[in-house]
Amino acid sequence: MQFEDLEIIEPIIKALKEEKYSVPTSIQERAIPHILKRKDVLGSAQTGTGKTAAFAIPILQHLFLDRQRNNSPHKINALILTPTRELAIQIADSFSTYGKYTGIKNTVIFGGVTQSAQTNALKRGVDILVATPGRLLDLMDQGFIRLKDVEYFVLDEADRMLDMGFIHEIKKIIAKLPGKRQSLFFSATMPTKIVELSRKILNNPIKVEVSPVSSTAETIQQYLYYTNRLTKNDLLLHILQDKRIDQVLLFSRTKHGADRIVRNLQKKKIKTAAIHGDKAQNHRQKVLKQFKEGELRVLVATDIAARGIDIDKLKYVINYDIPNIAETYVHRIGRSGRAGEEGVSISICEPEENAFIKDIEKLINQKIEIIDDNPFPQTDNPMTATEKQVFEIEKKRRKQEFFSTKNQKRPSSSRFNRKK
Ligand code: AMP
């Protein structure tokens, strides 16, 4: 099947050709015809499947044809809601790329930066608005944005939206949308809460499902090293001796962990940088650009920050820690082997994470290949469940003790006000 077979208009086909998209991906092939027929769609697809183009192409086509019939001033006719800033930027870029010959204008708004550039763009007039929920509500409250002209609404990465606690924001935004609209709802996973939310948004939707989260992309080769907590860094350096690993996205569970990994790799002259929630937006964009252009070998990211990263042909993903939620593992490794490219994921597991591997293997229904050629094999014992419980209780007690002493008022006899 070709894009032409999906009855996509010439100005968009021309842009896709320039992007060297030859055939539609599965989600595109299945969703685009329904969206063009103005049906609501409930799409179950993870990132890397080409889902952005699956909704961007038909929306651009609708807007282009609508404008041919009725050339009114630019108003926000389409709203795309997405959880993270990186993802928002990526989606807006995709609209610009596929829509470059359509004259349809888009802009993107997200928090963490000053709003003036965003409000100026809005004042100039746009057809498509890509937004994260917080900044959208903020600008709506300030009167910069009204949603009364929205005809096409996309809720992207709905599961991640709920994980990030955006449910109230989403409900507030939906309440402001016109009832007569076409809605598209995408989520990688479909737990009950998501299905309930989709019912509030969609009207008699067509369900389109591609590679559910439990079926890991077949093109990704998955490897596993068992090691100890204290040898992870040395093992990472050993892995990176392989010069074929020239561009790797490395996941760290915490921001502090991410910064520590960067420092350790930089000490060994490995070009590395981190992106996570504590980094300023312009820093994140700069780092991402350097990584895409091959100036950095390792990009360290937390799960949320990595969500919006879209790098064509990213081959390697390293899990510096094993996520305790098995779906997160699938999201992570899905960053390699994008759109049918071959990918490799390497996971580094310490004793306490052994149990997480079992959960992951259950979810993906396959065994991850263990690498025996490992100079730092696992020798420590994992804690038993009881030991772990005792450890956690003790940790909590110490924390409480620490804060209660910290918050205690200094006694009046402290040396600063002792009577002379
Ligand atoms: P997404 O799942 O939307 O994040 O897209 C994943 C990647 O696939 C992006 O880098 C897109 O540029 C790319 N892509 C999307 N559709 C196609 C296609 N039909 N052919 C080739 N690459 C595509």
Identify the residue with better confidence: 221 or 395.
Answer: 221
Q: Which of 187, 209, 231 corresponds to the end of one domain? A: 209
Per-residue pLDDT band at 235 (split at 50, 70, 90) = very high
Final residue belonging to a domain, choices 188, 209, 230: 209
Residues 203 and 254 in one domain: no
What string of H, E and C letters represents the secondary structure of 79-113?
EEECCCHHHHHHHHHHHHHHCCCCCCCEEEECCCC
pLDDT digits 0-9 by tens, 354-370: 999 998 998 888 899 99
* Closest listed residue to residue 32, CA positions, set 21, 44, 24: 24
My answer on whether 388 and 297 are in the same domain is yes
Query: In what order do the strands lie in the sheet containing 206-209?
Result: 106-109, 128-131, 78-81, 152-155, 182-187, 41-44, 206-209
Write down the number of H helices and E strands in the chain.
Answer: 16, 14
Indicate which atom in ligand 1 lies nearest the CA of residue 94: 12
In a domain, 412, yes or no: no
pLDDT number for residue 417: 38
CA angle 378, 381, 382 (to 5 degrees): 100
Does residue 123 sit in the same domain as residue 230? no
Nearest in space to 200 (alpha carbons), one of 162, 146, 148: 162
Residue 419 predicted with pLDDT over 50: no
Q: What residues make up the domain containing 82?
A: 3-209
User: 315 and 336 in contact (C-beta within 8 Å)?
Assistant: yes
Query: For residue 48, which atom of ligand 1 is closest to its CA?
Result: 2
Give CA–CA dist 90/118, Å, rounded.
Answer: 16
Q: What is the pTM (predicted TM-score) of this model?
A: 0.63
Look at residue 381 and tell me whether its pLDDT is greater than 90: no
141 with 224, same domain: the answer is: no
Assess if residue 285 is contained within a domain. yes
Q: How far does residue 36's CA lie from ligand 1's centre (Å)?
A: 19
**At 414, is the pLDDT very low, low, confident or very high (cuts 50, 70, 90)?**
very low
Confidence tier at 409 by pLDDT (50, 70, 90): very low
SS3 content of the chain, % helix, strand, coil (to 5): 45, 15, 40
In this predicted model, which residue has the larger pLDDT, 285 or 373? 373
Count of structural domains within the chain: 2
pLDDT digits over 63-93, tens only? Answer: 999 998 887 889 999 999 999 888 899 999 9
Q: 415 lies in a domain? A: no
Same domain, 247 and 394: yes
Q: What is the pLDDT of residue 339?
A: 61
Q: Which DSSP symbol is given to 380?
A: S
Q: What is the CATH number of the domain that holds 224?
A: 3.40.50.300
Instruction: Report the pLDDT value the prediction gives residue 420, as an integer from 0 to 100.
Output: 35
224 and 205 belong to one structural domain: no
Q: One-letter amino acid identity for 145?
A: I
Q: Answer left, alpha or beta for residue 38, where phi above 0 means left and psi between -120 and 50 means alpha.
A: left
228 CA from centroid of ligand 1 (Å): 38
Q: How many CB atoms lie within 10 A of CB 72?
A: 10
Q: Are residues 115 and 239 in the same domain?
A: no
pLDDT at 144 over 90: yes
Residue 283: HSE in the Cβ half-sphere, 13 Å Cα cutoff: 11
In a domain? residue 411: no
Nearest CA to ligand 1 atom 11: 50
Mean pLDDT of the chain: 87
Say if 215 falls within a structural domain: no
What atom in ligand 1 is closest to the CA of residue 23? 19
Ligand 1 contact, 95 CB (< 6 A): no
